[in-house]
Amino acid sequence: MDKLAELVDKIRADGGEAVAFPLDVTDPESVKSFVAQTVEALGEVELLVSSAGDMLPGQLHEVSTEAFAEQVQIHLVGANRLATAVLPAMAARRRGDLIFVGSDVGLRQRPHMGAYGAAKAGLAAMVTNLQMELEGTGVRASIVHPGPTLTGMGWQLSAEQVGPMLADWAKWGQARHNYFLRPSDLARAIAFVAETPRGCVVVNMEIQPEAPLRDAPAHRQKLVLGEEGMPG
């Protein structure tokens, strides 16, 4: 909440309007309270960006069923809770936007990210269903799939934790360079989807970090890990 409070202060200082409320997408009552507080403070929800996330690395046979279920609860069930909390009012007004943050891991699996990838793949399927079922209602549903992004999620791990994962990524051709998306890149993509004029809908969007130039130093041409762990 401290980071959110700082962001709210910055938006207000820049002349915008913002509020922040606690939200746990795995808790039905928290979702209801969050939506109610938001509506009271800002009016009806016109746009929902569902981006709550957490990444649990590990080979599937080493991840407990309980931990696997937690990933599904956060990324899939939590997104469903948020969507169903705001959809009735959107459908009644015949307008609204649902934007879900997926992952390229939900499209192309990566070793050591099986629980996360399975949950994100389920999210992609859910959004496809929403798109079909909401057609003609005035409510648009979109999903944005980011590639590797430098956020606090999953990257604050030691070399011992991440080294074997990156080695397997390289084995499957998934560690070609060490460039990452910035959070602002993802925000820009979400804003593009939200600002798309009515009469058009962005169904799916995938964004990836641009590769280094071919004459860049060799160490930039592959994803390697130093003793300090993941970059951050």
The residue from 68, 116, 169, 180 that is catalytic is: 116
Is the separation of the CB atoms in 98 and 79 below 8 Å?
A: no
Residues 6+ apart with CB under 8 A from 179: 209, 210, 211, 212, 220
SS (H, E, C) the chain: CHHHHHHHHHHHHCCCCCCCCCCCCCCHHHHHHHHHHHHHHHCCCCEEEECCCCCCCECHHHCCHHHHHHHHHHHHHHHHHHHHHHHHHHHHHCCEEEEEECCHHHCCCCCCEHHHHHHHHHHHHHHHHHHHHHCCCCEEEEEEEECCECCCCCCCCCHHHHHHHHHHHHHCCCCCCCCCECHHHHHHHHHHHHHCCCCCCCCEEEECCCCCCCCCCHHHCCCCCECCECCC
179 is catalytic: no
Residues forming the active site: 116
